[in-house]
Amino acid sequence: MNFTRPHEECGVFGIYNHKEAANLTYLGLYALQHRGQESCGIVSSDGLHLHAHKRMGLVADVFGNPAVFKKLPGSAAIGHVRYSTAGASVEKNVQPIMVDYSRGSIAVAHNGNLVNAQILKAELEAYGSIFQTTMDTEIIIHLLAVARTNSLVDRIVEALNRIKGAYCLLFLTKSRMIAVRDPNGFRPLCLGKLGNAWVVASESCALDLIEATFVREIEPGEMVICTRDGGIKSLFPFKKVAPTPCIFEFVYFARPDSQIFGKNVYLIRKELGRQLAREYPVEADVVISVPDSGMPAAMGYAEEAGIPFELGLIRNHYVGRTFIEPAQSIRHFGVKIKLNPVKELLKGKRVVVIDDSIVRGTTSRKIVKMVRQAGATEVHMRISSPPTSYPCYYGIDTPNRKELISSSHTVEEVCRYITADSLGYLSSEGLVEAVGLSNEVCKACFSGAYPIAFPKPMDNNQRELFEEGDAHNE
């Protein structure tokens, strides 16, 4: 199976019916920057035309020049922040995508990943569609363009009924904004209100920044249509399935101040730490965390274990885009660049280090060594989630399976590799219990049980034959 297609991590934001639509979208994207640091874009509508500005780079850089907003007029706008693996990190893949088709112009911003992308693309191309990007999102647009139904809403439903996978989508035409969350509800998407304007965002922290009120989450399988009269219409046009929200959003991805899937992320993370302390206690002098994502779990662990929590590793605040590069070599270098131990604190101590996950193991190994060099007598690693053994196909950028250390190594082997005195992962049951959602969750990255199956894509050999057909017929 070919998974070289980029698995994207993204954030979306949209606002409808506000004079400062583009400016507020900029602020919303700024709050969602942690969901994608590679590129970003905004498309606005002034009622007659769509206007776009999008680039590789951080939100503050791409939209740093106030003159940009003069080119984004209108009272509706959607925006996108994006992260992807190296291959597809190119200008043309920056979202939102904006195109002309028979019914006028439309822009789309997409957070998620399709599992039947290759099959659909091959089929569309066979009927004459031309692809400009390598993004799943473009498939959705083409399906929209070839749909045989009449109204925009019908066409969107027709198109989305063909795709399988994870998606939170924001569509913008010259007169409407439409938000859709996939039936499984893998990724979070919430609805807010700012005066008379409707706001949609991946996480509630984006509503907070612009001082919008949190109204509710958009439901799995729901389509929300913002209309010119200031109202919204809610539809559930897809076949209903049991929702499976992504539990990794709680573990690592969402911001701690966000409320997603009905819960506050910070409080959940502390609870993960407490549960971890119950499952894997250890005698120690101090609990520290890998900043900043591991901090709430470390505080929960320390509280439950009755061991003092300290800031044992200090993070350089000026670590920026330079070290976000996805090359593995730089990630290694990154640990040193990012973190420095407080030696006076760790010297002669038995130290518990809390992190949220272990991916390749190389970072953990460097951290254990760093803590030990700072004088710790024992280093116990505790992870606030189960071993990550399987890649995510629903929108979180994870390495190939063979790069995931837990896919081929036991906990003991990982412990030895990272040179820790002990290693404990939160159990899958403990994770689910601590999160405390009433419904099912997607924990495929820990269990390999994928809620949506993959269709077999056309493989490269077949494609090669197909393509070269004309060469023989010249």
Give the nearest distance from C-beta 471 to a copy of itself in angstroms.
7
Q: How far apart are CA 143 and CA 158, in angstroms?
A: 8
Q: Which is nearer to a copy of itself, 208 or 421 (CB)?
A: 208
| Residue 168 known to be catalytic | no
CA torsion angle 274 280 282 288 (round to 10): -50
Specify the residue, 4 or 410, whose C-beta has the smaller distance to a copy of itself: 4
User: Is 246 annotated as a binding-site member?
Assistant: yes
**Closer by beta carbon to a copy of itself, 225 or else 277:** 225
Q: Where are the beta strands (DSSP E) in 406-464?
A: 422-425
Which residue's CB is nearer to a copy of itself, number 100 or number 429? 100
The answer to whether 168 is a known ligand-binding residue is no
**Cβ atoms 111, 167 nearer than 8 A:** yes
Burial (CB count <10 Å: 0-12, 13-18, 19+), residue 465: exposed
The structure tokens 């409320």 sit at: 259
Give every CB contact of residue 325 below 8 A, 6+ residues apart in sequence. Answer: none
The strand pair at 339-341 and 350-355 is best described as: unpaired
CA distance 446 to 265: 19
C-beta closer to a copy of itself: residue 375 or 407? 375
Of residues 139, 78, 132, the one with CA closest to residue 109: 78
- Least distance in Å: CB of 406 to a copy of itself? 26
- What is the nearest approach in angstroms of a copy of itself to the Cβ of residue 232? 12
Q: Nearest Cα to 408, choosing from 424, 387, 426, 422?
A: 387
Tokens of 453: 């199956």
User: Nearest 5°: phi and psi at 363?
Assistant: -65, -45
3, 5, 23, 4: which is closest to 13 by C-alpha? 23
Q: Specify whether the CB–CB gap between 303 and 296 falls below 8 A.
A: no
Backbone angles phi, psi at 104, to 5 degrees: 115, -155
Least distance to a copy of itself from the beta carbon of 392, Å? 22
Comparing CB distances to a copy of itself, the nearer of 254 and 276 is: 254
Neighbours of 173 (CB within 10 A): 16
Least gap, CB of 168 to a copy of itself (angstroms)? 21
355 has binding-site annotation:
yes
- What 3-state DSSP class applies to 454? coil
Burial 366-403 (b: 16+ CB within 10 A, else e): bbbebbbebebebbbbbbbbbbbbbbbbbbbbbbeeee
User: 213 by DSSP, 3-state: which?
Assistant: strand
Do residues 349 and 374 lie in contact, with contact meaning Cβ atoms separated by under 8 Å?
no
Q: Which residue is catalytic, options 10, 40, 168, 415?
A: 10
Q: What are phi and psi of 82, to 5 degrees?
A: -145, 145
392 is in an annotated binding site: yes
**Residue 172 Cβ, how far from a copy of itself at the closest point, in Å?**
14
Assigned token pair, 281 = 């206690």
> Within 10 A of 281 (CB to CB), how many other CB atoms are there?
17
Instruction: Identify the bridge partners of residue 39 per DSSP, sorted by sequence position.
Output: 56, 82
CB of 42 within 8 A of CB of 88?
Answer: no
Would the annotation count 226 as a binding residue?
A: no
The residue (of 148 and 402) whose beta carbon lies closer to a copy of itself is 148
CB of 87 to a copy of itself, least distance (A): 12
| Closer by beta carbon to a copy of itself, 60 or else 242 | 60
Give me the residues paired with residue 77 across strands: 15, 44
At its nearest, how many Å lie between a copy of itself and the CB of residue 414?
Answer: 26
* Residues known to be catalytic: 10
